[in-house]
A and B are shown apart, each in its own frame.
Chain A
Amino acid sequence: MKLKRNVAVSENGFLFNPETGDSFIVNPIAKEILNYLKEGYDIEKINQLILDRYEVDLVTLEKNMEDFLKMLQHNELLDR
């Protein structure tokens, strides 16, 4: 699962999809996850990185990650 190569993410969390012309705003943790996805990290690795840095349990994180990835898919931001 990887972010499309042409999707741009700015430093302050502004995201632009040139294929659809849609713009998005993400929160800091989402920006961090997007950067990991761009790097090509798998979900397990991303989860571990977030767990190490943030005050969150695995179940909550997994639920939230699943939802977030669904939203990326819904908005055509991921490579199929």
Chain B
Amino acid sequence: MKKLDYERPILNKVNAGMPDKFGMKTKTATLSHIEEHSVHDILKEFGSPVYVISEPCIRKTYRTAYKAFSTRYPRVQFAWSYKTNYMNAVCKIFHSEGAWAEVVSGFEYSKAIENGISGDQIIFNGPEKSKEDLERAITDGAMIHLDSLDEFYFLGELAQKLDKKANVALRINLDAGIYPQWDRFGFNLENGEAWHALNRIMLHEHMELVGLHTHMGTYITAVSAYAVAASKLADMAVRLFRKFNHSIKYLDLGGGFATKNTLKGAYLPGADTCPSFDDYAEALTSALLGSELPPDKLPLLLLETGRALIDKAGYALGSVLANKRLVDGRRATVIDIGVNMLFTAFWYEHEVLPTKLNSEQTENTTIYGPLCMNIDIIREAIQFPLLQKGDAIVIPRIGAYNMTQWMQFIKLRPPVLLIDEDRKIHVIRKKESFQEFNAHENVPKHLK
């Protein structure tokens, strides 16, 4: 006789609390396959943990975003935000869809060049640009976004020495009605700092003002903020035209679009609160088209959205290492995915999904990572099914920032896989090895 399916016995205390007026679903979702590949098979072949990226998902998301903007505004260009995910294969997918590159360091700049992007399609942002970085950017004709007056002087000096004109845009911070207002990057609009800097650029012999840029913040769910920012930049462009008879080539509205991941402390899940690309596009392009920008000289609309284009395409696959019981009776489950490879666990209440369920039973569980460090918590409290040691789990929507902000802390970084449009699996970054890591170190003679 066939035996019955087993699940561990549980005892859940009934706690009478406030009823949930939104009627959140209590059913646990599962994810057994990614782009037709069984999670179990992937873990068996490539080990646990592992990152998986879906190429079809990246392309679909990009096309949805591009369509949302390009159907509303005649001149739209995306620039792939390298810091969000600079796996070369990922960057090349975006470039093949037509995206330029947005980089914030010399290292990222080199990556963009290696990925076949010409200098005139690189937006060079960020507070740190070395002498060598700037000289290369001036020579390549990259769009250099100024962050401070010190950088303005430094760039001017270098361009003069090279006897070239640098393509320059000004990063502007402004009040778009959201909190917190980022003021650490660029020049403030409301106090006149930005206008002052623009005048300096316009009068500089070795600088060509090509664009205006703002990047208001991150995970912005208020689409109206984009409308305010777009209006303010458009007004600035019109003011420049009136004074200098100079038309800027582009307005760069940055990124900051939200994704369906739920932020820590959020009352409602991200899936219910995240605006669509159409929502962002409608607010932003309506503001531009309704501004005083002359219709025959509309600047290019540049967008540097990163998170919203890649988050959904990334998955972290792992396994349960152990189940424990905390002193207050709570269940603790230790998995092999820690904050070392899931930096975004500091910001998000990531979903942690089993690949199959034997029943609908769950326990209130704290999910810990594998690191011997108190901060390594993936979820503080989640209604989690009764998994056993070795069972597979999937954390979806982790494509943004985790493969760049990952830490070599206690463990080496796992491999990254890409599933292409023909559903073929490629290792796009191999697992780090002890030898490679150790090769960077040098022990002084007296300690050998």
Contact = CB atoms under 8 A, between A and B. Distances in A.
A60 B10 contact: no
Interface in B1-56: 3-14
A22 B3 contact: no
A73 B205 CA distance: 81
Interface residues of A, number: 29
B323 A67 contact: yes
Interface residues of B, number: 19
Nearest to A77: B11
Interface in B318-369: 323, 325, 329, 359, 361
A80 interface: no
A14 B51 CA distance: 41
B387 to A, nearest CB: 12
B13 A23 contact: yes
B199 interface: no
Nearest to B331: A67
Contact of A15 (B5, B8, B11): B11
B3 A71 contact: no
Contacts of B8: 29, 60, 64, 67-68
Contact of B12 (A24, A63, A77): A24
B388 interface: yes
Interface in B285-338: 323, 325, 329
B366 to A, nearest CB: 15
A55 interface: yes
Given A23-B14, A27-B361, A68 B6 contact: no
Contacts of B325: 67, 70-71
A53 B4 contact: yes
B3 A53 contact: yes
B4 A65 contact: no
Nearest to B360: A27
B14 A75 contact: no
Contact of B9 (A22, A23, A29, A75): A29
Contact of B10 (A27, A52, A63, A77): A27
B11 A71 contact: yes
A29 B359 CA distance: 11
Interface string A2-19: 000000000000010000
A24 B386 CA distance: 17
A23 B5 CA distance: 27
A25 B3 contact: no
A2 B6 CA distance: 23
Contact of A55 (B3, B14, B359): B3
Contacts of B9: 26-27, 29-30, 33, 64-65, 68
B7 A27 contact: yes
Contacts of A49: none
Contacts of A63: 323
A26 B12 contact: yes
A8 B418 CA distance: 54
Contacts of B386: 27
B6 A75 contact: no
A54 B13 contact: no
Contacts of B12: 24-26
B196 to A, nearest CB: 67
Contacts of A64: 8-9
B336 to A, nearest CB: 19
Contacts of A70: 325
A67 B11 CA distance: 10
Contacts of B6: 29, 54-56, 60-61
Given A67-B8, A68-B8, A75 B13 contact: yes
Nearest to B390: A60
A26 B359 CA distance: 12
A40 B361 CA distance: 26
Given A26-B10, A30-B9, 8 more contacts: A24-B12, A26-B11, A27-B9, A29-B8, A56-B6, A60-B6, A64-B9, A71-B11
Nearest first, the 5 A-B pairs at minimum CB distance are A30-B9, A64-B8, A56-B6, A54-B6, A23-B14
Interface of A: 15, 22-30, 33, 52-56, 60-61, 63-65, 67-68, 70-72, 74-75, 77
